[in-house]
Amino acid sequence: MSKAKFGMYWASSCGGCEISVLNIGDKILTVDEVFEVVFWPCIADFKYEEVRNYPDGYIDLCLFNGAIRNSENEEMAHLLRQKSKILVAFGSCAYEGCIPALSNLTIGQMNGAY
């Protein structure tokens, strides 16, 4: 029996939610036992091009953490939505923007928007 395919993307964030919300820690090997990890750039050398070549819906579960701060984050959000059966945004940056969102205020002030 084949394992479910798992992906995870870390957009603009501090990484704290992976530690506190998921609390994977020493259980990371269990993730590998249960899932076939097909995309998780912060733990292995995965290329975006590999994901682009997956058929739509190829990833069974993808966790998306962090705010969308730049065009790369936005592109990956769209791509992972297309390639995943289930895409879950989690963490405070994905929900509220948090620290990455504060930089939007600074950029806006520099451009005279505020």
Domains of the chain, start order: 4-110 (3.40.50.700)
pTM of the model: 0.81
Q: Which residues of 81-100 are buried (b: 16+ CB within 10 A; e: fewer)?
A: ebbbeebebbbbbbeebbeb
pLDDT at residue 36, rounded to an integer: 95
Both tokens assigned to 19: 């530690």
Q: How many CA atoms lie within 13 A of 23 on its CB side?
A: 2
* Distance from chain centroid for Cα 84: 12
Q: What distance in Å separates the CA atoms of residue 77 and residue 71, rounded to the nearest whole number?
A: 10
Instruction: Count other C-beta atoms under 10 Å from residue 7's C-beta.
Output: 25
pLDDT at 106 over 90: no
pLDDT at residue 58, rounded to an integer: 98
**What is the C-alpha R_g of the chain?**
15
What are the pLDDT digits (tens) for 15-64? 777 666 667 777 778 888 899 999 998 888 999 999 999 999 999 999 99
What are the pLDDT digits (tens) for 73-94? 999 999 999 999 999 998 888 8
